[in-house]
Amino acid sequence: MSSTLLLAVNSGGEEWLDLSKLPLLIISFIVLAVVVILWLMSRRGSSFTPRQIPGLRAVEDAIGRATEMARPVLYTPGWGGDIQRPTTIASMNILSQIAEKTAQYDCSLIYPTHDPVIQSVAQEVVSESYARSGFADRYRQEDIRYVSSSQFGYAAAVEGIITRTRPAAIFLLGTFEAESLIMAETGNSVGAIQIAGTDSTIQLAFFIVACDYTLIGEELFVASGYLSGDKAILASVRAQDMLKIAIAVFLVIAVAWATFAPNSGWWRF
């Protein structure tokens, strides 16, 4: 690193730029550049078609089934996350699309949560979705409810709601911990169509076994673009896919390089 850069980033002996995080900063700017370029391309008319995700294609069928059976739809974001987590924000984005559909179909939507902040945001998101779909009068604030901050208090409350109301469709989308299987198995026992997705790799295994559809990894984050068809969001999804391909290519090159030149280390950062 040149002395000029060090002078630029140092101030009175205190580092304004942590050089150990420099590679991460560069990668972040590359990601930002790719997202912004594709977003601008989408504004100029380029369209991006997302790949088919079975779990998201089933959303409308699940809500339609609940409407036909005159049973509610249950949506819960899990106990593991707060509103600062990208997974919770991604879950809110999906909630908005689902709430729009439940409003159109006049199907009851129940949203129990463990966090009052999430409850407040969810109430706002659902209320706006109902208004946007032209059925503001169908919105019931008490259905978006705080139940308990305790992990198993929350699990027991959601289990109780599932057992009493027998929802026909259950969406378990967010950050889940040990409560995941308790909810998914209870949902399975009442015969609900279950669509799940989480950023917790341990809980994914439980969801794959107990739910009808599971959004794996980044599928949870692309859902709002997929469901809304918003061009700008789809452009960022495309950017995400391109970056994933770039990382895969990098990994293949790094593995080959490390195999033939074990002492090399340029690929480590």
Q: Which of residues 70-99 bind other proteins (CB under 8 A)?
A: 84, 86-87, 89-90, 92-93, 96-97
Positions in 20-59 near other proteins (CB under 8 A): 21-22, 24-25, 28, 31-32, 35-36, 39
Q: Which is nearer to other proteins, 68 or 152 (CB)?
A: 152
| Alpha carbon distance 45, 57 (integer Å) | 25
Q: Is 145 in the site for other proteins (CB under 8 A)?
A: yes
Q: Which is nearer to other proteins, 37 or 68 (CB)?
A: 37
Positions in 237-266 near other proteins (CB under 8 A): 237, 239-240, 243-244, 247
Q: Is 214 in the site for other proteins (CB under 8 A)?
A: no
| Alpha carbon distance 255, 8 (integer Å) | 36
Positions in 99-138 near other proteins (CB under 8 A): 115-117, 119-121, 124-125, 127-129, 131-132
| Alpha carbon distance 62, 58 (integer Å) | 6
**CA 112 to each of CA 99, 144, 209: distance values in angstroms, whole numbers, following the listed order:** 14, 6, 23
State the number of binding residues for other proteins (CB under 8 A).
83
| Alpha carbon distance 95, 109 (integer Å) | 10
Q: Hey, which bits of 1-68 come out as E strands?
A: 10-11, 14-15
Note whether 219 and 244 are within 8 A (CB): no
> 204, 213, 214, 226: which one contacts other proteins (CB under 8 A)?
204
Q: Which is nearer to other proteins, 14 or 263 (CB)?
A: 14
Closest CA to 76 of 182, 205, 229, 234: 182
Positions in 163-202 near other proteins (CB under 8 A): 164, 178, 181-182, 184-185, 199, 201
